[in-house]
Amino acid sequence: MKRRGRFAPTPSGMLHIGNAFSALASWLQMRQIGGEFLLRIENIDKPRSRPVFAEQQLDDLLWLGIDWDEGPRIGGPFAPYEQSKREPLYEAALDVLRNNGRIYPCYCSRSELASIASAPHGLSSEGPAYPGLCRHLTSEERAYKAQKKTPSLRFIMPEEAITFQDGISGTMRYDGEALGDFIVKRADGIFSYQLAVTVDDAAMGITDVLRGADLLDSTPRQLALYEALDLAPPSFSHVPLVADEYGKRLSKRDKSLTLASLRETGVAPERLIGAIAYTAGWRDRLEPLAAQELISHYRAPDGNTQPIIMTQQILGWLRL
């Protein structure tokens, strides 16, 4: 079976240098081993997603020299490649989880959850772990609460620890109970990232997920979903984030470092590729490079606990 990787941006803003690094690393990994590279638009959160951003992201990736074998604009055997068009698959997965007793309705409000000061901290991106307040409600209690509030749906995490081998971090261990039951469908009807990405990666035959270290602690939740849905999980690797010289993570809010802004100011794509290659340790000097020239030089980072630093000197070199 041919190995298959992917890049799956969320069109809630424009791609920045950190996104470019993750996309390039995933693309190089697949191109180096002769695998297939897919592009998927993760626009399941419709209020935050904008079609104009999705189109800009596609243009920016092609400008950078990153192409794809399947995805938007070219199609493929696993179309559609936009999550907003794949909702029946997520609903079918919920049916499986429901039939297996792995989800339950949750009527807690955000204010109620915010008041749980004693709850252990869960995933870095999602705050305190859910303490299971609604897991053991009776049918009568659920019916009463449903009269006042539309529930979200939560997935029941296993109590035993989840261990996996990350391609960069090595052996990782998470306690499922500490992570807490998590939402797979919001009260407003939007499917969660955790559910959608698991279903899509399995349906599209993804064998290798390479993404940013900010998603490392999403992996145990997704692995629990793979097990509950009886799906084969891919291998996972999490690359370092990209930060400025003060250690502050680059984000979509820094408009000057978006790919669109760099393009508009006349930065050549070879300059950006060269800067990424140098900071990632793939090359020992700053020099303009095409993405194709890096294929033989790619190697996985030695770790991901420390960010890759994009100094002002390097950023200045970009604009020479």
User: Catalytic positions, please?
Assistant: 252
Sign of CA dihedral 84, 88, 91, 96: negative
Is 140 assigned to a binding site? no
Angle at 65 between CA 64 and CA 68, to 5 degrees: 115
- What angle do the packed helices 51-64 and 17-33 form, to 10 degrees? 60
Is 42 assigned to a binding site? yes
In sequence order, the β-bridge partners of residue 163 are 173
186 and 194 Cβ atoms separated by less than 8 Å: no
- CA atoms of 157 and 144, how far apart (whole Å): 25
Is 263 assigned to a binding site? no
Dig out the tokens for 310 from the structure: 């994009």
Is 7 assigned to a binding site? yes
Is 211 assigned to a binding site? yes
Is 108 assigned to a binding site? yes
DSSP element (H, E) containing 239: strand 235-239
Dig out the tokens for 207 from the structure: 């064998």
Is 193 assigned to a binding site? yes
318 and 278 Cβ atoms separated by less than 8 Å: no
Is 161 assigned to a binding site? no
Is 159 assigned to a binding site? no
Could you list the residues known to form a binding site, using ranges. 6-10, 42, 106, 108, 130, 134, 193, 211, 252
Annotated binding-site members for ATP: 252
Q: Which residues are annotated as a binding site for L-glutamate?
A: 6-10, 42, 193, 211
* Residues tagged in the binding site annotation for Zn(2+): 106, 108, 130, 134
